[in-house]
Structure 1
């Protein structure tokens, strides 16, 4: 072998050795890295890690009703008419055997037909036969009608003056309800109900007619109680007898007279529910029974005398009222037919409550 060929052979052998050394070094390095580094999921090598959303813990709302009550309007219990008395018994039969909670009963005016001692005695006889939840009431115009009753116990407008007065009617109502005042409020299970009453009738104020007149004292009391009882996020209930006139006006006969001030009192508050009676309108005759203003406004039907749109008692067997359920996030208002113990499809409202702002 020539000297030049020998040198080439040595260079080739050296290149092979260098290559083998580099390959062995790379192999060892890969093995060492694989043993030292933790395993990584394939997805993590292709997408950047995402920040996790913070965990929010919120207590679930109670599923059942927090408070429930019935509203019975216009009972018109009478010592001389057996039909409304029978209908009140039907209503109380239903309420006391009702498949659901009943924390209270509201009687929103016209408890009696004439406000006479005999009418109140009949009403007491009926109600005392039942084991009832707490009962609360306000006065209607018929609870002042004793001024029209003659000595024989009959309706007689010519009998005026008969020795009776609006003051006597107020005292009869307070005695029956064991009240110190004809307007009141109460709270049960953390929810409050305010009951307003008309304070005079035509014997003292001929100009009011069949309207509901509230004094400065009652309206001041009402404003104060609203401020004290209101709780953001919770409903507050107000009971009247006569309905409101159109917005922006004061009422007259058969209406709440000082309506502008009434509405102004409610304006600052959310979740207020106002219920009235007096109209007697059947829930199934197409008459609107719910109106939304700055508050939720409901017209009840009647237990004693449910009327058609022409104000005639064409359905003599009907006896209707309202069942109210308060939930954590809503109020459910349902019309009830007491004569057959069913809910009325045409009278079914669910009102979401506005949440309190923190």
Structure 2
């Protein structure tokens, strides 16, 4: 074979190999297309559906939605400089507090004797601070003016010393600029109701030191609870005297119409009730939180914190409660105002029941 013929033979073999390669490529592509796995989508064909993630639940806000202090049993009187000192300690702490404070609740016994002199002293203290909105209800000591004579001395033999329970109610309303002694308010979408003792021993000797609420107040309480309660959110109720055991009405030193009070709240979740009156130190081992159909907290006292025997052995203590409302819980913490610290024994985090859609 000549050199020229050999070259032509090699070129022919190359053409055959290229043809075989192209034919094999077509077979492979056809195989993939038949099995539904095209290497390249045809031009103009619709895009395949994209996988989408399920929407996640909206994250909860990190910070509190509302926060407030509860100061109970101030017992301010010009004759007792210690109660004045302790209230100032509390207000110093509140006004320099490292956290939000949307309101202050004064839950009864603002004064020791309910006299004009006591209210003047209290006004002088409060007006010397730049405070958030202050709200209050009446305690039994705010009716004590009937025990005080014209010389500003305790005179039990001369009761009512020319005064009456109506005068005490009027003095409280004037001091707080209220039209009624029981009220409610809403801030940042959360509501607080403040119930007040409506009579004392001058008008109703049988109530003793107990909290008597009229038919009108109980009807108001039921109507406002129904109107203000929002599923999934907390509703707060302030009283002064504590509740008696479940199933009973109270007497002296207790909320008297307790059966009706509990019945009003029974169908509502996320209700938080706070009372004062007991003055019990958060660190003396007495229970301060009771779970019923609602959450029931006993506050301590700013003016006179007491031990289990109701003695003021820790004379320097001044205690109260700080409440924070979050989207999914309410945090309740005891506060020692004398040294501006939280109290380890009084620290509760209560999950909120979600609203049913």
Instruction: Report the counterpart of residue 60 of structure 1 in structure 2.
Output: 59
Q: How many residues align?
A: 326
The CA distance in 2 between the partners of 1:66 and 1:104, in whole Å, is 13
- Change in CA separation of 1:34 and 1:351 when aligned onto 2, cut-off 3 Å: same
TM-superposed CA distance for 1:53, in Å, is 7.7
Deviations 1:147-201 (A, max 9, x none): 0012221112112131111000000000000000000000000000000000000
Larger Rg: 1
Instruction: Report the counterpart of residue 38 of structure 1 in structure 2.
Output: 38
TM-superposed CA distance for 1:58, in Å, is 2.7
- Change in CA separation of 1:30 and 1:301 when aligned onto 2, cut-off 3 Å: same
- Change in CA separation of 1:53 and 1:111 when aligned onto 2, cut-off 3 Å: same
Instruction: Report the counterpart of residue 222 of structure 1 in structure 2.
Output: 221
The CA distance in 2 between the partners of 1:105 and 1:311, in whole Å, is 26
Instruction: Report the counterpart of residue 4 of structure 2 in structure 1.
Output: none
- Change in CA separation of 1:328 and 1:35 when aligned onto 2, cut-off 3 Å: closer
TM-superposed CA distance for 1:79, in Å, is 1.5
- Matched residue SS, 1:331: strand
Deviations 1:15-40 (A, max 9, x none): xxxxxxxx99x957743435755359
Residue 344 (structure 1) aligned with residue 356 (structure 2): no
Instruction: Report the counterpart of residue 270 of structure 1 in structure 2.
Output: 269
The CA distance in 2 between the partners of 1:76 and 1:128, in whole Å, is 17
TM-superposed CA distance for 1:60, in Å, is 1.1
Alignment of 1:1-358 (within 5 A): 30-33=27-30, 37-39=37-39, 55-358=54-357
Instruction: Report the counterpart of residue 47 of structure 2 in structure 1.
Output: none
Deviations 1:327-353 (A, max 9, x none): 000000000000000000000000000
The CA distance in 2 between the partners of 1:214 and 1:32, in whole Å, is 89
- Matched residue SS, 1:185: strand
- Structure 1 unaligned runs (5+)? 1-22, 41-50
The CA distance in 1 between the partners of 2:209 and 2:107, in whole Å, is 15
TM-superposed CA distance for 1:72, in Å, is 0.1
Deviations 1:216-267 (A, max 9, x none): 0000000000010000000000000000000000000000000000000000
The CA distance in 2 between the partners of 1:216 and 1:56, in whole Å, is 50
Alpha carbons 2:32, 2:39 under 8 Å: kept: no
Higher mean alpha-carbon deviation, 158-167 vs 53-62, is at 53-62
- Matched residue SS, 1:227: helix
- Matched residue SS, 2:129: coil
Alpha carbons 2:29, 2:38 under 8 Å: kept: no
TM-superposed CA distance for 1:207, in Å, is 0.2
The CA distance in 1 between the partners of 2:217 and 2:298, in whole Å, is 22
- Change in CA separation of 1:274 and 1:34 when aligned onto 2, cut-off 3 Å: same
- Change in CA separation of 1:120 and 1:58 when aligned onto 2, cut-off 3 Å: same
The CA distance in 2 between the partners of 1:270 and 1:100, in whole Å, is 27
TM-superposed CA distance for 1:74, in Å, is 0.1
- Structure 2 unaligned runs (5+)? 1-19, 41-49
- Matched residue SS, 1:92: helix
Alpha carbons 2:29, 2:39 under 8 Å: kept: no
The CA distance in 1 between the partners of 2:171 and 2:210, in whole Å, is 20
Q: Following TM superposition, where does structure 1 have runs of at least 4 consecutive aligned residues deviating by more than 2 angstroms?
A: 26-40, 51-54
- Matched residue SS, 2:333: strand
TM-superposed CA distance for 1:59, in Å, is 1.9
The CA distance in 2 between the partners of 1:80 and 1:32, in whole Å, is 102
Higher mean alpha-carbon deviation, 51-60 vs 237-246, is at 51-60
Instruction: Report the counterpart of residue 15 of structure 1 in structure 2.
Output: none
Instruction: Report the counterpart of residue 45 of structure 1 in structure 2.
Output: none
- Matched residue SS, 1:297: strand
